[in-house]
């Protein structure tokens, strides 16, 4: 049996980062649905993130996306966040929304465009210095729609060159998180399509470079927990972008589509000692809320990650090992499923109550009046940056 006190303290210590863009208006390629009360400025997004932290107690940092969160003084923005009780987390770069990047950013055949894209990565590192952020998060939309469109191998060389320049500019204690994605917006070939490509570049770069797993970025049926186990074993798992998918990169609430997958991922994290701060792994949400209210949806997502984590912590690992050693297939599977089938909501309610929080963060948010306040005060909320 897992020790309840240890499970509770691990749950209390868990940290989940929320994305600034998840608080802004968003949509699909067909329509951006505006919502009342959404943030108009980076400061208002941070205020919403701080609200999620106030009700959950486990979301003390917010990721920024540049230039969506561009401000004149990032040091002041970090101080503003700290005053509200949150830190600025990962700095996400954006080399995917500029005319110039139609044929790629850091892999573009034109050296001038590659220079512009690499300069953006360096600019983001400058922002990290101002905010005190540890992590630079890179995702490239680069790829090809047609065979022959460009040289696959040259593009890897160009990618490696840009990554090297950014990597060499990282200060002490700073890290690079490299995200992969199989598809979209390029559909024939993507320059970092999978964890293997990201991993190989990270190994070549050095110890500050690790892989970010966005759960929405795989082919259907991919065994993501295997990737987690492999990268953890190799010391190259840096972060998660959690979200849910039914078909593609849906960016729906984490734990909504496939809570069992989230449990299996969190079990590998627990199994590989990846949960605590000392592992350095950052657990982030990367999602948007097109049709549901954004703040309670983010709170719900945080709770879903907590529930998957609690179940993973409850796995009777001694019993599992024993069954595995004996080759007792049915028993090994039963041990895992017993933990998954446990209702952990009362345990999490206890953890919250002991931390002085409401046992039901979504209900507490709805009672708080925050939603009514922002809807009254904020007129003309901004779009996160895509889907116009």
Which of 139, 167 has the CB closer to Mn ion? 139
Which of 24, 86 has the CB closer to ligand LRH? 24
Q: How far is the CB of 7 from ligand LRH (least distance, A)?
A: 31
Which of 285, 310 has the CB closer to Mn ion? 285
Q: In the structure encoding, which two tokens stand for residue 261, read together? A: 């997958």
Q: How far is the CB of 249 from ligand LRH (least distance, A)?
A: 5
Q: How far is the CB of 362 from ligand LRH (least distance, A)?
A: 24
Which of 195, 370 has the CB closer to ligand LRH? 195
Residue 20 binding partner per list ligand LRH, Mn ion, none, with a CB distance cut-off of 5 to 8 Å that depends on partner kind: none
CA–CA dist 66, 126 (Å, integer): 12
**CA neighbor of 298 nearest in space, from 3, 8, 113, 47:** 47
Which of 87, 249 has the CB closer to Mn ion? 249
Which of 360, 383 has the CB closer to Mn ion? 383
Residue 134 binding partner per list Mn ion, ligand LRH, none, with a CB distance cut-off of 5 to 8 Å that depends on partner kind: none
Q: How far is the CB of 68 from ligand LRH (least distance, A)?
A: 9
Residue 92 binding partner per list ligand LRH, Mn ion, none, with a CB distance cut-off of 5 to 8 Å that depends on partner kind: ligand LRH
Q: How far is the CB of 8 from ligand LRH (least distance, A)?
A: 32
CA–CA dist 302, 368 (Å, integer): 18
Residue 294 binding partner per list Mn ion, ligand LRH, none, with a CB distance cut-off of 5 to 8 Å that depends on partner kind: none
**CA neighbor of 80 nearest in space, from 65, 67, 58, 64:** 64
Residue 69 binding partner per list ligand LRH, Mn ion, none, with a CB distance cut-off of 5 to 8 Å that depends on partner kind: none
Binding positions for ligand LRH, rule: CB under 6 A: 92, 139, 179, 181, 214, 241, 249, 286
Exposure class string for 65-95: b at 16+ Cβ within 10 A, else e: bbebbebeebeebbebbeebebbbbbbbbbb
Point out the residue whose Cβ comes nearest to ligand LRH. Answer: 139
Q: How far is the CB of 377 from Mn ion (least distance, A)?
A: 30
**CA neighbor of 288 nearest in space, from 17, 15, 20:** 20
Which of 181, 201 has the CB closer to ligand LRH? 181
Residue 135 binding partner per list Mn ion, ligand LRH, none, with a CB distance cut-off of 5 to 8 Å that depends on partner kind: none
Residue 268 binding partner per list Mn ion, ligand LRH, none, with a CB distance cut-off of 5 to 8 Å that depends on partner kind: none
Binding positions for Mn ion, rule: CB under 5 A: 214, 241, 249, 286
Which of 20, 56 has the CB closer to ligand LRH? 20
Q: How far is the CB of 52 from ligand LRH (least distance, A)?
A: 18
CA–CA dist 208, 120 (Å, integer): 19
Residue 307 binding partner per list ligand LRH, Mn ion, none, with a CB distance cut-off of 5 to 8 Å that depends on partner kind: none
Q: How far is the CB of 190 from ligand LRH (least distance, A)?
A: 11
CA–CA dist 240, 221 (Å, integer): 18
């Amino acid at each position: 049996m897992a020790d309840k006190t240890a499970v509770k303290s691990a749950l209390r210590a868990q940290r989940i980062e929320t994305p600034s863009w998840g608080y802004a208006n968003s949509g699909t390629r067909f329509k951006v649905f505006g919502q009342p009360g959404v943030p108009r400025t980076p400061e208002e997004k941070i205020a919403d993130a701080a609200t999620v932290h106030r009700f959950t107690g486990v979301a003390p940092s917010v990721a920024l996306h540049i230039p969506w969160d561009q401000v004149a003084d990032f040091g002041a923005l970090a101080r503003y966040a700290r005053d509200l009780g949150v830190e600025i987390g990962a700095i996400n770069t954006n080399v995917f929304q500029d005319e110039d990047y139609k044929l790629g950013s850091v892999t573009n055949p034109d050296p001038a465009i590659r220079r512009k894209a690499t300069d953006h990565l360096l600019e983001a590192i400058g922002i990290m210095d101002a905010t005190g952020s540890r992590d630079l998060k890179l995702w490239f939309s680069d790829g090809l729609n047609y065979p022959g469109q460009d040289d696959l191998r040259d593009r890897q060389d160009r990618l490696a060159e840009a990554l090297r320049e950014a990597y060499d500019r990282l200060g002490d204690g700073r890290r690079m998180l490299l995200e992969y994605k199989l598809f979209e917006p390029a559909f024939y070939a993507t320059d970092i399509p999978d964890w293997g490509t990201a991993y190989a570049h990270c190994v070549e770069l050095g110890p500050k470079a690790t892989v970010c797993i966005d759960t929405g970025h795989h082919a259907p049926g991919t065994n993501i927990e295997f990737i987690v186990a492999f990268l953890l074993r190799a010391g190259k798992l840096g972060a998660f972008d959690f979200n849910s998918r039914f078909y593609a990169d849906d960016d729906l609430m984490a734990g909504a589509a496939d809570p069992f997958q989230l449990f299996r991922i969190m079990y590998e994290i627990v199994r590989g000692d990846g949960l605590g701060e000392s592992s350095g792994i950052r657990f982030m949400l990367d999602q948007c809320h097109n049709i549901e209210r954004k703040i309670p949806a983010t709170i719900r997502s945080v709770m879903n990650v907590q529930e998957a984590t609690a179940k993973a912590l409850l796995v009777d690992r001694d019993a599992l090992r024993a069954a595995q050693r004996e080759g007792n297939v049915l028993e090994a599977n039963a041990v895992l499923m017993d933990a998954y089938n446990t209702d952990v909501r009362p345990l999490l309610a206890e953890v919250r109550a002991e931390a002085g929080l409401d046992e039901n963060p979504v209900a507490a948010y709805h009672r708080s009046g925050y939603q009514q306040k922002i809807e009254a005060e904020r007129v003309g909320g901004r779009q996160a940056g895509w889907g116009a």
